[in-house]
Amino acid sequence: MTSRRGFLAGLLAAGLAPAPSWADLGGPAFLAAARSPAGRYLLAGLSETGAIRFTCPLPGRGHAAAAHPTRPEAVAFARRPGRFADVIDCRDGTPLARLEPPQGVHFYGHGLFSADGTRLFTTENDYESGGGMIGVWQVSQGYRRIGSFKSGGIGPHDMLLRQTPGSVQLAVANGGIETHPDSGRAKLNLPEMRPNLSLLSLEGQVLDVMELDRDLHLNSIRHLALSAQGVLGFAMQWQGDLGDDVPLLGLYQPGSAPQLLGEDDPRTRNLRGYGGSVAFDPEGQTLAVTSPRGGVVQVMEVGTGHILHEHALPDVCGLATAKSGLIASTGLGLIAGLADAEAKPLHHHDLAWDNHLVRLR
């Protein structure tokens, strides 16, 4: 009788063995970077309710990650300004590749795969020229860098795929802030900064650019979300006086003017000028933003722009769309579900969750 091992070996030899998939790891719904109590850094896969499905070690502090659409493979990005982006086999933590940008370039903490998983796109800073770049990497060639193109602005940070009938676009949050590694995290161009939200083709053609009014030029557009209706949500970080009363959350439908949410509501001050992560509810009726500085999550109605709910969660930053609503993570180890007016604790892990929860497709 053929043994199971022999049977599988025969399948492998014939090229008939099932390809590894995320189902091999229990079907994780989210990726998140974290720090252990011992000071070690890791990448974790979480279930729909925040249970840990797997963990993999990281060489340093992570920021966000990109999940391959089919294979249990992820790219973990260093906190900016970062020089590492590690490709990991999430089944056992095996490092598959380390992406290194060209001389004079560093990563900005985010990236994504094309829908078919053949290419990886990374947000980057060409700090010698001060311009934003999108790096392009060929997955089938061991993540070989095959090119780059301009991001449409300065300081590209978050990025997502926006699919419309007949086209696939890269939506890029160009924060507008010029930095240089020699100056650490210092912001070098605040008087002249011009943040924008750009839409690019996958070949780098600029299709659309959205800028806010000039009096909001210090509102750095940093993070993005996409509704089921194709509307872009964007979260901002104010670089001016914290006493200024400015909205930090907005909506953009290409072809229309941007809509700012929470305007004239004094509760926006509770965000303390810092939008950490942004996500729509599953139906696209509300948009939420986190603030680790303020220790709150604010949920705003898309149609009216009004603040519907505010949840107090100390050191909250990660946020993503879940099947039942929204899910958030904190630097104190809490995973919470947000539904209507309630923030419900789901899990508490002995980890300090970092900035983002990344939804697997």
The amino acid occupying position 44 is A
Residue 143 pLDDT more than 50? yes
CATH of domain 19-359: 2.130.10.10
Residue by residue, DSSP assigns 275-326 as ---EEE-TTSSEEEEEETTTTEEEEEETTT--EEEEEE-TTEEEEEEETTEE
Query: What are the tens digits of pLDDT across the range 65-113?
Result: 999 999 999 999 988 666 779 999 999 999 999 998 899 898 999 999 9
Q: State both tokens at 248.
A: 């930090």
Cβ within 8 Å of residue 228, ≥6 positions away: 280, 282, 283, 284
Please tell me whether residue 110 adopts helix, strand or coil conformation.
strand
Query: Quick one: pLDDT at residue 128?
Result: 82
Domain-wise residue ranges, the chain: 19-359
Pairing of strands 196-201, 296-301: unpaired
Q: E strand or H helix at 172, and its extent?
A: strand 167-174
CA distances from 98 to 20, 144, 339 (A): 21, 10, 39
The answer to whether 150 and 101 are in contact (CB under 8 A) is no
Residue 292 phi, psi dihedral angles, 5° rounding: -65, -30
Query: pTM for the complete prediction?
Result: 0.92
Query: Quick one: pLDDT at residue 1?
Result: 38
Rounded Cα gap, residues 80 and 310, in angstroms: 29
Rounded Cα gap, residues 139 and 137, in angstroms: 6
- The mean pLDDT of the chain is 92
Query: Quick one: pLDDT at residue 7?
Result: 46
Residue 316: count other Cβ atoms within 10 Å of its Cβ.
Answer: 26
Residue 30 pLDDT more than 50? yes
Cβ within 8 Å of residue 14, ≥6 positions away: none
